[in-house]
Amino acid sequence: MREPKDPITANLPKEVGKRVRDQRIAQHITTEKLAEEANISVQYLNLLERGEKCMSIAILVKLAAALHCSCDYLLRGQTELSPMCDTISQRFSELTPLDRELVADLLRKTCDTIQALGLES
């Protein structure tokens, strides 16, 4: 006998798949490129994005890394970060890969300087 669906997780595959797809599109990443970065087939990625398959934790982690977002965001649609960080993340995702590297380097140097000067709150 099949267990009744849990209302909390019943739509989870579709919700996670939609967030994966939305992030991929927002970052102008093709299904081929994302599948390659996550080491999965394009067909499997399509099934995940449509919510027709559930992914393993390992695939979730790979997709989150490739999409530069948290697993928490993909799973629950929210992050523990402030709205300001979400805005920065969205703007960051709109940059080219080279510009992302430049911005990331600038941010690292700025944080290092703040720590060195003891300006942290």
Q: Give residue 80's pLDDT.
A: 59
pLDDT at residue 98, as a whole number: 93
Handedness of CA 108, 112, 114, 115 (dihedral sign): positive
Taking the chain (121 residues) in consecutive chunks of 10 residues, what is each chunk's mean pLDDT?
63 94 93 96 97 94 92 80 71 89 92 84 57
Report pLDDT for 118: 82
User: Given this model, what pLDDT does residue 56 score?
Assistant: 94
| Dihedral sign for Cα atoms in the order 15, 63, 105, 108 | positive
Q: Is 34 exposed, middle or buried (0-12, 13-18, 19+ CB in 10 A)?
A: buried
CB 29 within 8 A of CB 67: yes
* Residues in the chain, overall count: 121
Supply the pLDDT for residue 90: 80
Structure-token pair, residue 61: 């982690």
